[in-house]
Amino acid sequence: MLKFVITRYIFYSFIALEIVIMPKLLSNELYGEFEYVKYLSSLLPLTLIGAHSGYMQKYYVNSIDSFNSLFVISIILLLFVGILSSVLLNNALYSISVLSIGLSFILEKKLLIENKYTHAILYKPLLSLLFVLITAIVSYIYSDFNSLFVMALSYILAITLILFFAIKNTVFKDIFETKLKNHLTIFISLVKHGFPLNLSTIIFAVFIFTDRFIINYYYNNDLPSYSLSFNFCQLVIVGLSSMNLITSTKIGENYRAHNKKSVKKILVKSITIFSILGFVCACILYTYNVYFTKFENILTYYFFSLSINGSFFIFGSVSSIIFYYGKQWRMSIIFLIIALLKILTLYILISFFNLTLYSILIKSIIFMNIFVAIGVYQLFKLLDE
């Protein structure tokens, strides 16, 4: 497991390269647009509603490999979502993004099951490398830069390479021997297993996107600074989530042995790691912005992003205990209610009041920390039972 985490961090260094190089290749305005479109594209494949996670759970719990059904129905669903997105967003290139990212989700799970860890985590680093290379080439050749064209081309090349590795490692076997109706029945069962596991992830993604959506439409001049600060924040989150991966595995080995004292110890360790990584990345971001780019209020937006994302992932270091006790539905519903309240509150405030962007982000921090506080309270209450 530790080897997997280290490999993951090495591979994700390519994402760090994307973060520091892309702002140099594009103007601030184009960079903000590129990051907005990229994040929106990454949300659309969440319409798989957890089937890919259900596949892994069913494999490990019931020793049933349902990959063929997952692959066939996912392709159909992703094509539908891609076409619908292209129509609603008025650009056919969205369908390529949806199909590529969605396929990467399900192929990653299959490759993990087959112990092909390196291949499983290759997609995102490879995509980042392609973003940089293709952006550099396109911006050099053409004066009219098209974010979606660059993304679509990058997605096609990335998923083609991942498919090559998947086929080479005999992921696909007898995939068309089962009737479509039977594939659909199995797929629905995967959703039933996986949806509870992914509900919080889906809610969190939408929770974060609402801020970017509001900035794009109401505070567009701040979008580039917010986008860069958010990306630097993700470097901290990669480190924290990597540690969470190890922690949740250890917790799962004997989750009933944990008490308030052990949970507090884990939380303190997570907060310490988060603080160190956050400070280091803040120093790097400050130096980077002073000598290489000139984004306004970059550190302010960075600390806003850290406050929103950090509390969620710090809680994530112990939230697996709630899952192991089978209480994840309760927390997911609480999170959904808080996210809806956040969206409704921001809509009302923006409609009737002239709020600053800082006010919007502070309210996001408040809502996220309300959820985390409730989560910690529920966890301690569960340990007392």
Percentage, residues of the chain above pLDDT 70: 92
Residue type, 323: F
**Comparing C-alpha atoms, which of 319, 359, 346, 349 is closest to residue 335?**
319
The pLDDT of residue 174 is 62
In the block, tokens 């507090």 appear at 264
Q: Summarize the confidence of residues 54-79 as an average pLDDT.
A: 85
* Backbone dihedral region for residue 146 (phi beyond 0: left; psi -120 to 50: alpha; all else: beta): beta
Phi and psi at residue 52, in whole multiples of 5°? -65, -35
Phi and psi at residue 75, in whole multiples of 5°? -60, -45
- The first and second tokens of residue 139, run together, are 């911006």
- The first and second tokens of residue 363, run together, are 């309210």
Average pLDDT over the chain, rounded to an integer: 86
pLDDT band at 169 (very low <50, low <70, confident <90, very high): low
Alpha-carbon distance 328 to 297, whole Å?
38
The pLDDT of residue 2 is 56
Q: Which one is predicted more confidently, 169 or 317? A: 317
Q: Summarize the confidence of residues 256-279 as an average pLDDT.
A: 90
Helix (H) or strand (E) holding 103: helix 93-113
Burial of 70 (0-12, 13-18, 19+ CB in 10 A): buried
DSSP state of 251: H
93-113 and 28-43 are packed helices; what angle lies between their axes, rounded to 10 degrees?
60
Alpha-carbon distance 115 to 346, whole Å?
45
Alpha-carbon distance 154 to 134, whole Å?
7
Angstrom distances, CA of residue 384 to CA of 78, 238, 258, 259:
44, 32, 11, 8
pLDDT band at 208 (very low <50, low <70, confident <90, very high): very high
The pLDDT of residue 249 is 66
Alpha-carbon distance 93 to 91, whole Å?
5
In the block, tokens 């890919």 appear at 52
**Comparing C-alpha atoms, which of 373, 357, 377 is closest to residue 305?**
357
